[in-house]
Amino acid sequence: MQQRPRLVTGALTATGTWLRSIRPERRHLRQDTIAAMPSAVSSVPDGMASAALIGVSPVIGLYSSIIGPAVGGLTSSTRMMIVRTTTAAALAAGSALATVDEEHRTSALFLLTIISGALMIVAGVARLGRYARFVSHSVMTGFLTGVAASIIFGQLSGLTGAEVSGSTNLAKAFDLVRHLGRIDPWTFVVGLLTLGILYGLQRTRFFSVSALAALILPTLLVVLAGLESVAQVQDGGEIPAGIPRPALPDLGLLSVDLVAGAAAVAVIVLVQGAGVSESSPNEGGEPSSTNRDFIAQGIANVAVGLFRGQPVGGSVSGTALNVAVGARTRWAAILSGLLLLPIVVLFSGLVGLVPEPVLAGVLIFAAIGAIKPATLKVIWRTALTSKVAMGTTFLATLFLPVAAAVGIGVALSLVMQLNQETNDLKVVELEPLPDGRFRERPAPRTLTSHQPTVLDVYGSLLYAGSKTMQARLPDPTGAEGAAVIIRLHGRTALGATFYRMMADYARQLAAHGGRLYLSGLDPQLLEQAERAGGMDLTGPVQALTATGLIGESTNRALAEARTWLVTHDADPPAPDAESGPPPEPRDGGDR
């Protein structure tokens, strides 16, 4: 009965804290409003182009650019983060919907967006933010570069007005190269004009409105010159006017492929969002919460899906622009969405006049900007594993569905992590000094008879790490009555593989009259070792728990090993292969 009031009190406290965190600051409101304007303007072409990338009405991208920043800004812990459409999320959504017929694609998109948002919320509540770092920089670079290349190849037909065919965007680009005669000259001119405006204004003070200029000027050219050969957005169907009303998704469109696509979108959005959080720290040093940002992006996607939008996430370019124009609080992000609302209400009817090569040009410009030659060069100059990871993910993104490419990237990151931990594992010998300290030196290949050997291990001892350690331990064959002390101070987890490897090594030592000591064990790990079985902690293996003094348990183990070596018969009878080694007397204080 007392638990419920505590829960209510906790919920009220959390709500009060959140309300205080989102309260506008009057001293910053003017600056935030000014900063929101360029973000709102730039989201118009970006949102429209992202929707076109999925194959739905560009207005859907505008709806997402209203709801995403407003809801994401209210809930994220990274105050400068802009949650809106991203090309990577759009490409993933488009790939997931590739097999959905055109009649149901829009409705399926709304359902996919809601599912991906729900998965993000679950990830945040389950505190999975710490796992975002396991997606390696090489894998993420390969994926984003592959996404950028795929967008460029896929938009060449829209930029030139040529009809192309192919199972992948790369195949479509090759088809265009083989049939250059299909290019419509005026469409190509409009596309080149769009790119010219974007690149021409890139390094000027008009950069914040360059995307809007690239949207308006070519559109005026096509409309005023009557260039009928240039395809326009309205040619693809009726453009809805006004703002959308919330609606529940059509659950009849639910499928395994749709859920898999939503999971791919969620992974992409969350990993990108984690990168945005790191690159845009809060003013004043207040730390961001990756898990809270996961939840914020999830809530934004659920809201966007209910208002008939497409997936949104932490935007690298949008957040960078928000910071560059002087945003001070989260209200710059919120207002960037709200200011777009009147634009959509007043001018949604004009969206249909936008030429398709303009949207293709905007996407190509953004994709080229997402390719970072300096980063690619650094990775290419590092270890072979980094090259393989980047190259594999890049090729997978070009030739496979995005969901499969994301799965390969995540799996590859985990394999690389385990492989690196295994390769980094190092066994060293600790030579005892008269003052009680130890000098580190390379571990010997073999043991010395009737002598103690103290070893320390660097690296993970989970999974393959334990087998790697076993291969690098000194060979007990040929050494009689040797004692080995393995220092395990600071270990918080040891798996079944480790205990089995230690039991095997202890039996090898015991077969030659030796003994194994494990020093510095955490008390919980000692209890786990006793339950795990396979190791006789009353004879062949002696375990000493860690103390508050560094090296104390290892020195104790060394002293006990020396005492045992003095009192132990150096030439015990050979143990029978079936019965195992004879039991050893246990000294007091070993435990």
Q: Smallest Cα–Cα separation from 196: which of 176, 218, 173, 177?
A: 218
pLDDT per residue as tens digits for the range 457-483: 988 787 777 888 888 899 998 899 899
Residue 534 CA: distances (Å) to CA of 283, 537, 538, 578:
54, 9, 12, 16
Q: What are the tens digits of pLDDT across the range 98-107?
A: 888 888 999 9
> Which of the pair, 162 or 577, is modelled with greater confidence?
162
Domain limits of the chain? Answer: 26-418, 425-567
According to the model, what pLDDT value does residue 53 have? 87
Fold of 425-567: Transcription Regulator spoIIAA (3.30.750)
Q: Which of 115-124, 433-442, 493-502 has the lowest mean pLDDT?
A: 493-502
Q: Which residue has the higher pLDDT, 539 or 220?
A: 220
Distance of CA 275 to the CA centre of its chain: 8
| pLDDT tens figures, 357-404 | 998 888 888 888 888 898 899 888 887 778 888 898 899 988 888 778
Query: Strand runs (DSSP E) across 462-540, as ranges?
Result: 483-487, 515-521
The phi, psi pair for 510, rounded to 5°, reads -65, -30
Please state, in angstroms and rounded to a whole number, the distance separating the CA atoms of residues 262 and 402. Answer: 11
Tokens found for residue 476:
């007990």
The tens digit of pLDDT for each residue in 266-307 reads: 988 888 888 788 777 787 767 788 889 999 999 999 999 999
Has residue 585 got a pLDDT over 70? no
pLDDT given for residue 577 in this prediction? 39
pLDDT tens digits, one per residue of 411-436: 887 777 667 666 678 899 999 888 87
pLDDT at 572 over 80: no
pLDDT at 497: 81
Q: What is the mean pLDDT of residues 20-27?
A: 76
What's the pLDDT at 574? 46
Mean pLDDT lowest among 65-69, 135-139, 268-272, 442-446: 135-139
Q: How far apart are CA 410 and CA 539, in angstroms?
A: 44
Across the range 518-537, mean pLDDT stands at: 75
With 70 as the cut, is the pLDDT of residue 571 above it?
no
pLDDT of 16? 65
From residue 351, alpha-carbon distances to 158, 160, 318, 348 in Å are 17, 20, 21, 5
483-487/313-314 β-pairing = unpaired
pLDDT of the residue at 247: 86
SS3 content of the chain, % helix, strand, coil (to 5): 65, 10, 30
- Alpha-carbon distances of 321 from 18, 259, 405, 531, rounded to whole Å: 26, 33, 29, 57
pLDDT digits 0-9 by tens, 221-233: 999 999 989 988 8
State yes or no: pLDDT of 587 exceeds 50. Answer: no
579, pLDDT greater than 50: no
Average pLDDT over residues 349-361: 85
